[in-house]
Amino acid sequence: MREPAMRIYCRELMSGELLKDEDGELYAVTPLGAVLKRAFITGILEEVAKKRDSSLFRIFDGLGAVTCIADDPLLDEFEEGELAGVIGKPEKCGEEVILRAEEVFRIGGIERKIWFLETSVNTLKRMKLKKELSDEWIEFRKEILALSSIILEELVIAAVRELAENEISFEEILEKFRVDEELLKEALEKMLLNGEIYEPRPGIYRRVS
């Protein structure tokens, strides 16, 4: 049975150490404690270089990028600048950790944002379990929180627009996007202060027309 692919940011994946299990199969261990044989990343497709039987490319997820290699014809219908999802196995190329793509597929804007938020939840959980974070990872945590807040605000506005009654509860947002509860509270408070939404009843939010 194949290992499930872990949602992970490119920067954390790139910083991982590659080891071999008892069967000689490679897996990555990251400084934040993630252990994975397969990764699921999303982002903008960049720097495509086609070779005879394969293609090299990079995926930029908004916080970092990782180099990927895909056997033809996985990239035949893709162009640079498109949003893509990649599932694959970590490998070593010189001193760099890269991803050997098993699947490359188009991903919609909403799907991509939900991937980002789900990945942020898991990454922040790993950070909380660490007794001490280096300055590099403390800064990375700030970047995750800042970008997650922006994305969450966009999704909340979109979710309210979709509803006939034009309102949504805290619990509905939490269930819909599976986001960190504290992060959601902070984003909603910011949106209330900025006048983007208002609270007609406790825990119920409407978009300001």
Three-state SS at 54: strand
Beta-bridged to residue 184, according to DSSP, are none
CA 158, CA 135: separation in Å to the nearest integer? Answer: 35
> Which pLDDT band, with edges at 50, 70 and 90, does 203 fall under?
confident
pLDDT at position 87 is 95
Q: Any idea what DSSP says for residue 168?
A: E
Domain 110-207 classified CATH 3.40.47.10?
no
Q: Hey, what CATH class is 6-107 in? A: mainly beta
Give the mean pLDDT of 115-135.
91
Give percent above pLDDT 90 in the chain: 42
Question: Would you say residue 137 has pLDDT above 90?
Answer: yes
CA 111, CA 90: separation in Å to the nearest integer? Answer: 23
Q: Would 6-107 and 110-207 be classified into the same CATH topology?
A: no
> Model confidence over 147-195: pLDDT tens digits?
988 888 888 777 776 665 677 888 888 877 777 777 788 888 888 888 8
Domain ranges of the chain: 6-107, 110-207
Give the mean pLDDT of 1-13.
89
